[in-house]
């Protein structure tokens, strides 16, 4: 159970870091939308986008996917908290793991598509091949699918346990 405690601690730290990054993204979004920021040394060239509407859509979609990913980590944190109680046959644990996995897969695929579309159409340059970002997206997709698989395995073991309890 030490690994579950470590996972729970790591998820808490990651969520705190992601909230901090979310605040940074908010500052970035306000800078991109033309609100002057004097306390941060960041400048995004709006001219790399074809139109201002594309910039707004791109930023909005990235923020929505970011929020979905934070929700996925929050659900995984709740599932890990239930895992610490050694109750592996809890329906809420299974649902939390499955939902977290679905949200991770959705957010990674969506962010991958958004990045590819923005590179090809908004920023007017195409990158072919595997980049580090693509490998991270594939890793998160794999983690999400693994969580969904583990949820299914726990659900099946719960059904077997209930059937076994009835026969005894």
pLDDT averaged over the chain? 77
pLDDT digits (tens, 9 = 90+) for 67-79: 888 889 889 888 8
For residue 23, the SS3 value is: helix
Rg (CA), the chain: 20
What pLDDT is attached to residue 40?
42
Let me know: does 112 contact 134? Beta carbons within 8 Å.
yes
Q: How many residues does the chain have?
A: 168
What pLDDT is attached to residue 1?
53
Let me know: does 114 contact 59? Beta carbons within 8 Å.
no
- Record the pTM: 0.70
For residue 109, the SS3 value is: helix
Q: In terms of Cα–Cα distance, which of 32, 63, 26 is closest to 47?
A: 32
């Amino acid at each position: 159970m030490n690994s579950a405690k470590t996972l729970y601690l790591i998820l808490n730290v990651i969520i705190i870091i992601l909230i901090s990054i979310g605040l940074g993204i908010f500052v970035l979004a306000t800078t991109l939308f033309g609100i002057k920021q004097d306390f941060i040394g960041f400048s995004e060239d709006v001219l790399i986008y074809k139109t201002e509407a594309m910039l707004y859509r791109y930023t909005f979609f990235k923020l929505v996917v970011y929020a979905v990913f934070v929700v996925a980590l929050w659900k995984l944190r709740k599932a890990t908290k239930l895992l610490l109680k050694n109750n592996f046959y809890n329906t809420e644990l299974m649902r939390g793991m499955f939902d977290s996995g679905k949200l991770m897969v959705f957010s990674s695929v969506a962010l991958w598509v958004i990045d590819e579309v923005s590179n090809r159409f908004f920023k007017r340059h195409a990158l072919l091949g595997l980049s580090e970002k693509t490998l991270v997206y594939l890793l998160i997709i794999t983690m999400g699918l693994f969580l969904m698989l583990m949820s299914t395995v726990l659900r099946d073991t719960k059904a077997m346990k209930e059937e076994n309890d009835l026969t005894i």
